[in-house]
């Protein structure tokens, strides 16, 4: 089988924890190069655990004609710059979420994809899971009656105040790091975009949003609730409330393996089993098919744009520095 030769820009934590392990399950792609400084402990751990790859500088990696695609796990503030550089170099791009944090920047990415004839996809690995389609099917089949509300919670504390995820310089904060998943879940389950948002946010000493609770008017009498936090205890889950039942999934949407969705109705509860493959491997495989077989990216730039606009509504509702 022909394989996509991937380059990774930056030796980020997610590359070590998720992407390198995922590549061991990918048939149509291989890591050929990593752009990072030599000798970092993380790089040395990765080199010891996985098949060999070349280590080089960022510009050198983009200039390598043998590299077909790049994965970008850099801090949020660097996504636009390096996505555009990669596209200009003729590389297909899989960029970590959020691909950008402002709607006006996404138009530059769309233009670059068209101008350089490359695929650019946001790395929302959870969209490569059967979770959302299964929940949508249950709603469509009337299992919970009329849809009333969707609650999405994702609290994931960070201990280091120096983390880029807590820095305004790197476009950190709870909305961008974990709230984007909540908004995606609410939008995916309902098939609706928020009309308006009311929200409360608390802010960290750095100035970014630490915790945000938001109510989304989705129209048609349907409400979304998002709770995101970078300074609250670990907590995550999805709840879909109807007129005669509730669907509950008590994990992050990126979870895979043998999963369970709980369907609670007046006549009793029912467990719905779900089998999900490694979502990170699935997104790499799908991107490989886009490049090798002409398949359309599962996460379109239009879908990314809708989620970015939802994030902007939350920022405006809490009066964050991003909305000024």
Q: Are strands 69-72 and 4-9 parallel, antiparallel or unpaired?
A: parallel
CA distance 100 to 96: 9
Token look-up 């590549």 returns 23
CA distance 145 to 138: 10
* Residue ranges in the chain assigned as alpha helix (H): 13-14, 20-23, 41-49, 58-63, 79-88, 103-116, 131-140, 174, 180-190, 279-293, 301-318
Residues 97, 198, 239, 251: which is the catalytic one? Answer: 97
Measured CA distances, 99 to 7, 176, 300 (Å): 17, 10, 11
DSSP assignment of 10-24: S--HHIIIIIHHHHT
CA distance 213 to 202: 9
CA distance 116 to 70: 15
Token look-up 């995916």 returns 188
The number of beta carbons lying within 10 Å of the beta carbon of residue 76 is 22
Q: Are strands 54-56 and 29-35 parallel, antiparallel or unpaired?
A: parallel
Token look-up 């790859």 returns 53
CA distance 56 to 120: 23
**2 belongs to the catalytic site:** no
Q: What are the catalytic residues? A: 97
């Amino acid at each position: 089988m022909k394989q996509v030769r991937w380059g990774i820009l930056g030796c980020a934590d997610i590359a070590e924890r998720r992407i390198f392990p995922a590549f061991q399950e990918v048939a149509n792609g291989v890591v050929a190069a990593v752009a990072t400084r030599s000798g970092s402990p993380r790089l040395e751990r990765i080199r010891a655990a996985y098949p060999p790859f070349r280590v080089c500088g960022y510009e050198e990696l983009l200039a390598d004609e043998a590299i077909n695609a790049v994965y970008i796990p850099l801090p949020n503030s660097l996504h636009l710059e390096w996505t555009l550089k990669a596209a200009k170099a003729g590389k297909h791009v899989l960029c970590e979420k959020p691909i950008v944090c402002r709607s006006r920047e996404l138009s530059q990415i769309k233009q670059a994809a068209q101008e350089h004839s490359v695929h650019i996809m946001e790395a929302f690995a959870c969209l490569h899971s059967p979770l959302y389609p299964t929940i949508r099917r249950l709603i469509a089949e009337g299992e919970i009656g009329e849809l009333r509300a969707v609650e999405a919670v994702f609290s994931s504390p960070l201990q280091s105040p120096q983390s880029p995820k807590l820095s305004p310089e790197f476009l950190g904060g709870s909305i961008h790091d974990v709230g984007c998943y909540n908004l995606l879940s609410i939008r995916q389950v309902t098939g609706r975009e928020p009309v308006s948002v009311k929200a409360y946010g608390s802010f960290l000493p750095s100035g970014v949003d630490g915790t945000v609770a938001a109510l989304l008017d989705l129209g048609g009498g349907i409400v979304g609730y998002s709770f995101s936090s970078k300074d609250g205890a670990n907590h995550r889950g999805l709840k879909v409330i109807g007129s005669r039942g509730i669907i509950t999934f008590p994990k992050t949407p990126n979870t895979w393996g043998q999963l369970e969705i709980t369907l609670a109705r007046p006549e009793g509860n029912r467990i719905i089993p779900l089998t999900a493959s490694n979502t990170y491997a699935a997104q790499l495989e799908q991107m490989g098919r886009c490049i090798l077989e002409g398949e359309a990216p599962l996460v379109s730039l239009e879908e990314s744009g809708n989620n970015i606009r939802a994030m902007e509504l939350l920022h405006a509702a809490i009066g964050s520095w991003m909305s000024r």
